[in-house]
Amino acid sequence: MDLETFGRTFCMPLGPGQAYHRPPFLYRGVEDVAVSYTADPASVASLLPPGVEAADDPPVCQARVGWNAFTTFGPIHEAMIMIRATFEGETYLYQPFIFCDNEIPIAAGREIWGNAKKLAVMERSWGGSGTPYGDQLIFTVERPKGKRIMTVSMACDALEDPANLEDLRGLFTRLIPNSEPGRPPSVAELVRLDLQAHIHTSADGTLKLWKGRGSVTMDSPSQVDPWYLLAPVKTLGAWFTVYDFDLPYGRVIHNYLNDQIDWS
């Protein structure tokens, strides 16, 4: 492979077998539940990188679970926790945890934006398959199968006005270890992600955005996947949305390699 060809290569593996193409990645018909709640301040602080602080007292988190029926990665289930946080005077949704059930977006998410993605087993249904409890959407997250990390449920009660909801940018820590011992990480950055979602419209012209009663439980603690550190103290609200978005490049807003940090 000559230098010109190598310079056009976006990701590994080199050549025609590259794992993914260049952004943007297209997501269509996303069905997403977000449950907002307060969490323990000390636990939240233990998961935030230097310079990033909880925006609220007590801290506010969101458990988000989604079924992405079509993406240019293929269909994806995703589950994540977001912390409402500040960095240098601006408020973001910082992501300490995320699970996915498709290998390629895991590679792209970790390498491009710093999504801390792992594989997990996720299932979604309205009330549970073959049961009469169809009023509630239920989303379960297990890693490995049989070890329940999180359960999210919601009943949609009324339409919501999008003007009532915040539109915050995502924030991620992109950390890539060095290949040699005793050296700083190859990459240590805060990455900002700006998304523009387009909510679907129903036949009557109303947006497919509902509010309702939601719950989040993390009642099987795992030291391998310690999502329980961000277990809810008080539930604040829940929303169900159907929307499209294009997933673009991120933007580096801080480089920790420029800081005086002991990386030993």
Taking only the tens place, the pLDDT of each residue in 203-244 is: 999 999 999 999 999 999 999 999 999 999 999 999 999 999
- Counting every residue written for the chain, the total comes to 264
Query: Any idea which residue has 């190598």 for tokens?
Result: 6
Mean pLDDT of the chain: 96
Cα separation of 230 and 60, whole Å? 10
Secondary structure E strands in 101-229 = 117-119, 121-126, 137-142, 148-159, 169-176, 187-193, 198-199, 209-217
Return the higher-pLDDT residue of 16 and 133: 16
Q: Where are the alpha helices (DSSP H) in the chain?
A: 3-7, 41-45, 103-108
Cα separation of 228 and 47, whole Å? 12
Per-residue confidence band for 256, with pLDDT thresholds at 50, 70 and 90: very high
Structure-token pair, residue 85? 């946080």
Cα separation of 49 and 261, whole Å? 12
Q: Positive or negative CA dihedral for 38, 40, 224, 222?
A: negative
129 pLDDT more than 70: no
Q: Cα(first)–Cα(last) distance of the chain, in Å?
A: 37
Q: Tell me, what's the pLDDT at 204?
A: 96
Range with the poorest average pLDDT among 5-19, 35-49, 59-73, 163-177: 5-19
Taking only the tens place, the pLDDT of each residue in 46-71 is: 999 999 999 999 999 999 999 999 99
The full set of domain ranges for the chain reads 24-258
Structure-token pair, residue 181? 């011992």
132 pLDDT more than 90: no
Per-residue confidence band for 21, with pLDDT thresholds at 50, 70 and 90: very high
Threshold 0.75, pTM exceeds:
yes
CA 100 distance to own-chain centroid: 9
Angle at 32 between CA 142 and CA 161, to 5 degrees: 145
Mean pLDDT, residues 126-130: 74
Taking only the tens place, the pLDDT of each residue in 240-252 is: 999 999 999 999 9
β 137-142/148-159 pair status: antiparallel
From residue 233, how far is each of 4, 153, 184 by CA, in Å?
Answer: 55, 16, 37
**pLDDT > 70: percent of the chain:** 99
Q: Tell me, what's the pLDDT at 89?
A: 97
10 pLDDT more than 90: yes
Per-residue confidence band for 119, with pLDDT thresholds at 50, 70 and 90: very high
Topology of the domain covering 24-258: Acetoacetate decarboxylase-like (2.40.400)
Per-residue confidence band for 133, with pLDDT thresholds at 50, 70 and 90: confident
Structure-token pair, residue 70? 């079509």
